[in-house]
Amino acid sequence: MSVDPTYLKLLERAYKIVTPKVERRREIPKLSVEIEPRRTMIRNFKDIADRLNRDVTHMARFFIKELAVPGNVDSNGSLVIYAERTPRTLEAVYDRYIKLYVTCPVCGSIDTYLVKEDRIYVLVCTACGARTPRRA
């Protein structure tokens, strides 16, 4: 049984188109941290929240609670923390957020979204359809 060469060419072309898009979807954006005297800013905070399909206030609340410092999101979409924190500390909090509220525990995909049902957040995966309850 032989395979049609035009079919193989089309299949190879499809892989070239689809593969980069899949790889791009799996990328987790990096934090852009700027440290000033007595405050730290994450410049691309709103962009990260949009890319991860999360509410900016939910992410900001998590960061502020985990770091135990005051802070807010300014009009430019930057998270302003009113204390000096190292980029390493912020990345650890960011990794924890991704593990708890972004990554699907069933398939490992980051293509998820949060739904609030009563007082519980439910992590819904668009890749495998899993629904996992998360703490508020």
What is the domain partition of the chain in residue ranges?
Answer: 29-102, 106-136
Q: What is the pTM of this model?
A: 0.78
Mutual angle of helices 87-101 and 56-67, in 10-degree steps: 120
| CATH 3.30.1330.60 at 29-102, yes or no | no
Other C-beta atoms within 10 Å of 94: how many?
A: 23
Residue range 76-82: mean pLDDT, rounded: 92
pLDDT digit string (tens) for 19-35?
554 444 557 788 989 99
Residue range 89-96: mean pLDDT, rounded: 93
**List of residues 6+ apart from 56 with CB closer than 8 A:** 45, 46, 49, 73, 77
Answer yes or no: is pLDDT of 16 > 80: no
